[in-house]
A = this chain, B = another copy of it.
């Protein structure tokens, strides 16, 4: 829905991305649902490309997710096909047939095994995706392939997104530069009707699939798995990390923990964190980006659950929309998380100001001190729950009339 006003939290512009050798991109207006805008993306990947992925935990996954889950263990990819507008979810046998036909079509068009074609879809649930319409678009896509068409690629996968999302970096492996470029879409952590979180990250490093998996999982926990817009989990969430190997750098590395990957790992986390926060910045109706950092928890997992209880609380999110430093609601959210926390040692900082401490409002706290912070568009909440050393940070956005309008008012 490209006619929506751009989010007030959008970045200033589309970023510069590095060239990733071994990746070619093409988009086309296939008219699957949208009229007059590109809605399909094809990526051709160099021979030898390795892939790792993270898929939705939903028990109602879409057919493309089932497909990727089946292919990813082999760790090899030669192509990626994405369509926007139809999620191909809850479509029964027809959904499986559509994915199979699409992958077979790409395999034939590009001359590669169909098991090396990754597929992702985003859009409405429960509508049949016509295989014929998808297959028909493939020759046009194949003809349009060219390197570094990042902006077009990021645009083609949008649904309710109000801006195109991308991030990139150059990392050094063993003294040699490698490129990392990623695109993403998403506008509710998940809004399954017209939005779903997808992200595709490409590098020309030469890394085996096992290493990619070892890198992707923990970084995904701290980036895409550390954001929430509305607590609703998509049926289609997909993150794929492709390494074409065209840069040669990385050859011989066999473990994600290899010290030579330190810079690559840091840059990958930068790129994925940036993309994840861009999704929150485009959260439906969002006017504020909120960072919630929890410390002093029983474990990192517990800290994350507490942070998400705060970040998903409608009462915390509406208070922030109203620029109200309502720390009582933060206490409530910690309390409801069902995680260990010591009420009488709880400390809360908002915008760096100590608001509550030792289970009570801090004697020096004056609400006026944080009014300017609350009026800004990036809010930080720090909570120490006083029982251990576990910590975690998550990002969310406020809950506004805009969210209700987008999700309830469109009905004519």
**Are the CB atoms of A235 and B192 closer together than 8 Å?**
no
**Are the CB atoms of A332 and B404 closer together than 8 Å?**
no
Choose among B91, B94, B331 the residue that contacts A90 (Cβ–Cβ < 8 A).
B331
The prevalent SS among residues of A at the interface is loop
**Are the CB atoms of B92 and A328 closer together than 8 Å?**
no
With A232-B314, A314-B232, A314-B403 known as contacts, the answer to whether A336 contacts B410 (CB < 8 A) is: no
What residue of chain B has the Cβ atom nearest to residue A234's Cβ? B332
**Are the CB atoms of B57 and A338 closer together than 8 Å?**
yes
**Are the CB atoms of B408 and A322 closer together than 8 Å?**
yes
**Are the CB atoms of B407 and A332 closer together than 8 Å?**
no
**Are the CB atoms of B408 and A332 closer together than 8 Å?**
no
**Are the CB atoms of B410 and A328 closer together than 8 Å?**
no
What residue of chain B has the Cβ atom nearest to residue A409's Cβ? B322
With A59-B341, A328-B124, A411-B323 known as contacts, the answer to whether A315 contacts B235 (CB < 8 A) is: no
**Are the CB atoms of B404 and A231 closer together than 8 Å?**
no
Q: Which of A90, A190, A340 has the most B CB atoms < 10 Å from its CB?
A: A90
A230: chain B residues within 8 A (beta carbon): 314-315
Interface set of A (CB-CB < 8 Å, partner B): 56-61, 89-92, 94, 124-126, 188, 190-193, 230-235, 312-315, 318-319, 321-324, 326-329, 331-341, 343-344, 346, 356, 358-361, 398-401, 403-405, 407-411
Q: A193-B329, A231-B313, A315-B407 are in contact. List 16 more A-B contacts (CB 8 A).
A: A56-B335, A59-B340, A59-B341, A60-B341, A89-B328, A124-B328, A126-B327, A126-B331, A126-B361, A191-B315, A192-B329, A233-B335, A318-B407, A321-B404, A322-B408, A404-B404
